[in-house]
Amino acid sequence: MSDAVFTPSQPSRIRLALRKPGFVVGILIIGFSVMLALFPGIFAPYDPNAIDYLAVRQPPSWTHPFGTDLLGRDSLSRVIWAYQVNMQMAVLATVFALVIGVVVGALVGYYRGIADLIFGRVVDAVITFPFLVLVIAVVAVLGPGLINMYIAITLVGWVYYARLMRAEVIAQMGNDYAAAGIVMGYSDRRIIFRHLLPNAITPVIVYWMTDMALAILLGSSLGYLGLGAQPPQSEWGVLIAEGRNFISTAWWLSLMPGIAIVLTGLGFSLLGDGLADLLRPRG
């Protein structure tokens, strides 16, 4: 009665995922962005803070591919140095929300009861307000600056992760492997974190990728409004704000950091889509 285990020959999942051009482009964009963020000094042609009053607001040229700003600083170098801040935003503004949200969501999804009811009301209260408005309100209380901005985004953002995680844990509990864990007498902790969480976390990871793009957008919005990164720090929102008054005469000042935002956002989106395919368990 012993029969061979059925194993159709199949290319590995990673190979399959890499056949998707979108995923590859996403990896390239984010990979390159991470390089720029880690080693801006290697890629930037000039010191981003070197002021040159003899070369103010020059249009893009071979010596200054992105032109120069109102103090004669090289725009390309400033956009590259801004990667450091903006990529840091993508991570730091989301990762705490991710961890808190995953743990809270898994717990309320597993135990339900009163905690779940309270959680439901908290979610309702938070999603009633537009995200940006709520974050600005928190920053207004705490004061402007990057650290306070991370705190504000985390305070609001964990709710979205927790909501997703809770729904996914509840869905996973419909599977008999969760019941089997209970029948086997496994501890709640083991069932939640060893069994349910690895199966429930895929959509959260995918959402995280999108959320990093949103965090960059939000972070640069706050920078633009003067609530996030503070000049003279290079940050895309700050750079766009600096070019705002010269939009008709020195368009490159705002356009180039804008393109950087769009490109990074696109990279995270493509990466998220590819990961969604890669992480989906096979039936």
Partner 1 sequence: MTAVMQIRDLHLRFPTGRSLADFVTGRPGREVKALNGVDLDLKRGETLGVVGESGCGKSTLARCIVRLHTPSEGSIEFEGQDIFGKASRDDRSYYRRVQMMFQDPYSSLNPRMTTGQILTEALKVHNMRPEADIPARVAELLDLVRLPQDAQGKLPHEFSGGQRQRIAIARALAVEPEVLIADELVSALDVSVQAQVVNLLLELQQELGLTILFVAHDLRLVRHVSNRVAVIYLGRIVEIGDSETLFSAPSHPYSQALLSAAPSLNPDNRGAVTRLEGELPSPLNMPKGCPFHIRCRHANDVCRKDVPALQPFEGRGEVACHHVKEINAYA
Where does this chain bind partner 1 (CB under 8 A)?
1-2, 4-7, 174-177, 179-180, 182-186, 190, 194-195, 198-199, 281-283
Least distance in angstroms from the C-beta of 103 to partner 1? 19
- Which CB, 194 or 244, lies closer to partner 1? 194
Tell me the backbone φ, ψ of residue 181, rounded to 5 degrees.
Answer: -60, -40
Residue labelled with tokens 């493509």: 270
Cβ-based nearer residue to partner 1, 193 or 251: 193
159 contacts 101 by C-beta, under 8 angstroms: yes
In whole angstroms, the minimum distance from the beta carbon of 76 to partner 1 comes to 45
Nearer to partner 1, 25 or 205 (CB): 205
Task: Select 11 or 174, whichever has its Cβ closest to partner 1.
Answer: 174
**What six digits make up the tokens of 139?**
């920053």
Least distance CB 224 / partner 1 (angstroms)? 43
Cβ count near 68 (within 10 Å) = 28
In the complex, minimum distance from the CB of residue 3 to partner 1, in angstroms, rounded to a whole number: 8
d(CA 40, CA 81): 5
Q: How far is the CB of 182 from partner 1 (least distance, A)?
A: 6
* Least Cβ distance, residue 278 to partner 1 (angstroms): 14
Bond prior to 232 in cis (omega within 30° of 0): yes
Residue 247 vs residues 51, 111, 216, 230: alpha-carbon distances, Å: 21, 55, 22, 21
- Burial label for 150, CB within 10 Å (0-12, 13-18, 19+), is buried
Residue among 114 and 141 whose Cβ is closer to partner 1: 114
In the bound state with partner 1, the residue whose beta carbon lies nearer, of 191 and 214, is 191
Residue of 30, 24, 91 whose CA lies nearest to 278: 24
Alpha carbon separation from 116 to 20, 99, 120, 158 (Å, rounded): 39, 18, 6, 15
